[in-house]
A and B are shown apart, each in its own frame.
Chain A
Amino acid sequence: MKPASTAAFCFRLLRRQLVLGLRRPVELGNPLLFFAMVVALFPLGLGPAPDTLASFAPGILWIVALLSNLLTSDAVFRSDLEDGSLEQLLLAPQPLYLAALSYVFAQWLLTGFLLGLASPVFALMLGLAPAAIPALAASLLLGTAVLSLVGGIGAALTVGLKRGGMLISLLILPFYMPVLIFGSGAVQAALNGNPTGPFLAILAAFLCLSIALAPMAIAAGLRISIDT
């Protein structure tokens, strides 16, 4: 038996969360399926004219990514609260900051990361110009990580509530707005032939800020939620 090292602990948590996610493939596929369905509906609602669709595509893709993230974000801590794992996590002699970061990172790998990888397919469905696809994927990868971290705060605060779904949306949607603006801005800039670097840099700055601050808020939220 070895004394616990924090790095090994975080790696174990990450592995545990990933295995738990992969053993429930339906939940893994849900955000992607949601994304595909909504993207498939837009041509029906807006009319199939490729020009119209292509001009709306950056906004559509980003809004759908945001909503599918919102759908999954409230589940990060719920099952752990229900089976008592969460109280064990809070009692662990390890920094809760890093534990929270591990949880959110696993959640992002299973949702936002996959979404970012799959986004070129959805972009082609809406007729987005191929030149804008790298900017879309990059902005989604950066932006969904911010969304997952912010969503984690909402999840931590509402995990003790029976019906936290609506509340979590109200809590975190305002924080999603800047990510949406700069994320779709990056794709728009790529479409217009402008440099996307500044937009991606701002998204990366959001990410740095939320990596630094969100796990602290998540940890505090969990402590409040478990204290019944």
Chain B
Amino acid sequence: MVNDSAPVAVVLSASELGLERGGRELFSGINLQLTRGQLVQIEGPNGAGKTSLLRILAGLSRYGFTGQVERHVPQLFLGHQSAVKGLLTPRENLAWHVAGESSFTAAAIDAALAAVELYGYEDVPSHALSAGQHRRVNLARLYLSQAPLWLLDEPFTAIDRGGVVALEARMLAHLEQGGTVLLTSHQPVAVAYPLLRLDLTTGQLQ
């Protein structure tokens, strides 16, 4: 639902979002207006509905929740699963990615794979890679994508310490170019950038 009439700076707005699962209210009354250059972390204990909220915002969940979501810009959603096919090489996984953003050049893909330290693994079948390397193949999309809005679900899972630092640097670069990052994470995010926290239990953004 891309709406061009909204101000350019707003990339995503949600009003009065509420979700009930199994007769239990996960969250309610979430109002959110994301603008360019914002870094927002969704916080809450396990089972608070962080992933569910992210899926609603991304547009994967369309039913069963209350409230409105308006998306104004292209988005990049990275979920729990890495969407990497074991039978394809990392290079093929990125070149033929089902997200259909654009046609990436071979050089761009190689550069992205090098950026996530998979240089030398471009043509290895992905089933020979580790879980962390699958995550890295997926994270390489952050270097390829032109989408201004990133929705990242637990991006630091299964990534080693060096990878976390590189990912935080990539997020900072994206934010400084006017991009927006909305992420869920149980780890503190060490980015030298103003961080907003969305607390799911209270619905407050601060």
Write the residues of chain A forming the contact surface with B, with a CB cutoff of 8 angstroms. Answer: 1-5, 8-9, 12-13, 15-16, 19-20, 23-24, 79-80, 82-94, 99, 223, 226-228
Closest Cβ–Cβ distance, residue B181 to chain A (whole Å): 17
Complex alpha-carbon distance, A12 and B99, angstroms: 11
Complex alpha-carbon distance, A114 and B62, angstroms: 38
Is A12's CB under 8 angstroms from B95's CB? yes
Note all chain B residues with C-beta closer than 8 A to A84: 79-83
Is A92's CB under 8 angstroms from B88's CB? no
- Report 10 cross-chain contacts, Cβ distance below 8 Å, ordered by A residue: A1-B144, A13-B96, A13-B100, A16-B85, A19-B88, A19-B96, A84-B82, A87-B79, A91-B77, A223-B62
Summed over the interface, the residue pairs from A and B with CB atoms below 8 Å come to a total of 95
Is B105's CB under 8 angstroms from A91's CB? no
Note all chain A residues with C-beta closer than 8 A to B77: 87-88, 91
Note all chain B residues with C-beta closer than 8 A to A8: 103
Complex alpha-carbon distance, A99 and B61, angstroms: 19
Complex alpha-carbon distance, A2 and B104, angstroms: 7
Is A16's CB under 8 angstroms from B88's CB? yes
Is A88's CB under 8 angstroms from B99's CB? yes
Closest Cβ–Cβ distance, residue B99 to chain A (whole Å): 4
**CB closest residue in chain A, given B96:** A16
Is B64's CB under 8 angstroms from A83's CB? no
User: What 1/0 flags go to B84-102 for Cβ under 8 Å of A?
Assistant: 1111100010011111111
Measured as residues with beta carbon below 8 angstroms from the partner, the interface class of chain B is 35 or more
A227 in complex: contacting residue of B62, B97, B101, CB < 8 Å: B62
Closest Cβ–Cβ distance, residue A104 to chain B (whole Å): 15
Closest Cβ–Cβ distance, residue A8 to chain B (whole Å): 6
Which B residues, 123 to 165, have Cβ-Cβ distances below 8 Å to chain A?
A: 144, 146
Write the residues of chain B forming the contact surface with A, with a CB cutoff of 8 angstroms. Answer: 58-64, 74-75, 77, 79-88, 92, 95-105, 108, 144, 146
Is B103's CB under 8 angstroms from A2's CB? yes
List 15 additional contacts besides A84-B80, A86-B98; criterion CB under 8 Å. A4-B103, A8-B103, A13-B96, A19-B87, A20-B87, A24-B87, A80-B98, A84-B79, A85-B85, A87-B79, A88-B77, A88-B83, A92-B99, A92-B101, A99-B98
**CB closest residue in chain A, given B104:** A1
Most buried by B among A4, A5, A23, A91: A91
**CB closest residue in chain B, given A86:** B98
Closest Cβ–Cβ distance, residue B189 to chain A (whole Å): 23
Contacts known (A20-B88, A87-B79); A227 close to B61, Cβ less than 8 A: yes
A91 in complex: contacting residue of B60, B80, B146, CB < 8 Å: B60
Note all chain B residues with C-beta closer than 8 A to A79: 85
Is A3's CB under 8 angstroms from B102's CB? yes
Note all chain A residues with C-beta closer than 8 A to B83: 83-85, 87-88
Contacts known (A2-B102, A16-B98); A90 close to B85, Cβ less than 8 A: no
Is A93's CB under 8 angstroms from B101's CB? yes
Is B99's CB under 8 angstroms from A89's CB? yes
Complex alpha-carbon distance, A89 and B84, angstroms: 13
Is A20's CB under 8 angstroms from B61's CB? no
Note all chain A residues with C-beta closer than 8 A to B58: 91
Complex alpha-carbon distance, A48 and B171, angstroms: 72
Closest Cβ–Cβ distance, residue B64 to chain A (whole Å): 7
Is A90's CB under 8 angstroms from B60's CB? yes
Closest Cβ–Cβ distance, residue B150 to chain A (whole Å): 12
Note all chain B residues with C-beta closer than 8 A to A15: 96
Contacts known (A4-B101, A91-B77); A83 close to B87, Cβ less than 8 A: no
**CB closest residue in chain B, given A1:** B102
Note all chain B residues with C-beta closer than 8 A to A90: 60
A226 in complex: contacting residue of B60, B100, B103, CB < 8 Å: B60
Complex alpha-carbon distance, A22 and B67, angstroms: 45
Note all chain B residues with C-beta closer than 8 A to A223: 62
Most buried by A among B80, B82, B96, B100: B100
Note all chain B residues with C-beta closer than 8 A to A92: 98-101
